[in-house]
Amino acid sequence: METWQILVAAGIVAFILEIFTTGFIAGSAGIGFFFAAAGSYFGLSAPWQILLFALGMALTYFLIRPLVNRYGYREPVKTNRDALIGKTGKVTEEINPETHTGRVAIDGDDWKARPANNEIIPAGSNVEVVEIDSIILFVKPLK
């Protein structure tokens, strides 16, 4: 294999890696490899190929990457802890700030709960999660 073919293969591998990463860093490197491959194909020396790699990567990183990050990635999906904030649930055990008791069922899971504003919330009430501290949900009653 010639050098330019190896550089093209490295560029393809970089684009495959980009599928599994975010930020378009590997994609920028892939375009840099393609620039260096073009220099190698036309017979430029190694320092020129390195310069072309750096130029291709820099141009891509500073000109194309911001566009890819803005329009190419969707809003991240909230998961785990962040997904619970704003959800509603049903109180399964009275929430009492004085006795530190209370449980809430949300999506089939049972959580320890505390009131967000130090009020007693009776069992059977519907509540909304406003904050999370470790494994304890802070909730407010729904009207």
Residue-wise pLDDT for 27-40, tens only, equals: 999 999 999 999 99
What is the per-residue pLDDT across 37-95, written as a single tens digit (0 to 9) for each?
Answer: 999 999 999 999 999 999 999 999 899 888 877 877 667 777 777 888 999 999 999 99
pLDDT at 22: 75
Same domain (yes/no): 54, 90: no
Whole-angstrom CA distances from 135 to 39, 119, 131 are 57, 20, 11
Residue 141, classed as helix, strand or coil, is strand
86 and 64 within one domain: no
The DSSP line for 21-43 is SSSSHHHHHHHHHHHHHHHHHTT
Query: Of 18, 51, 72, which one is at a domain's C-terminal end?
Result: 72
| Same domain flag for 19 and 61 | yes
Which of 72, 76, 37 lies closest to 57 in space, CA to CA?
37
Give the residue from 81, 100, 83, 6 showing the smallest Cα distance to 46.
6
Shared domain check, 85 and 40:
no
Give 24: exposed, middle or buried? Use CB within 10 Å, 0-12, 13-18, 19+. buried
Q: Please indicate, yes or no, whether residues 68 and 107 belong to a single structural domain of this protein.
A: no
pLDDT at residue 21, rounded to an integer: 86
Backbone angles phi, psi at 86, to 5 degrees: 95, -10
Same domain, 27 and 86: no
Give the count of alpha carbons within 13 A of 41, CB side only.
Answer: 11
Q: What is the pTM of this model?
A: 0.53
**91 shares its domain with 112:** yes
- Residue ending a domain, choose from 72, 89, 112: 72
Same domain? For 63 and 123 the reply is no
- The pLDDT tens digits for 6-52 are 999 999 999 999 889 877 889 999 999 999 999 999 999 999 999 99
Nearest to 129 by CA among 114, 108, 143: 114
Residue that finishes a domain, picked among 26, 55, 72: 72
The whole domain housing 124 covers 80-141
- Angle between helix axes 46-59 and 25-41 (nearest 10 degrees) is 150
Q: Quick one: 60 and 103 in the same domain? A: no
Residue 101, domain CATH = 2.40.50.140
Our count of domains for the chain comes to 2
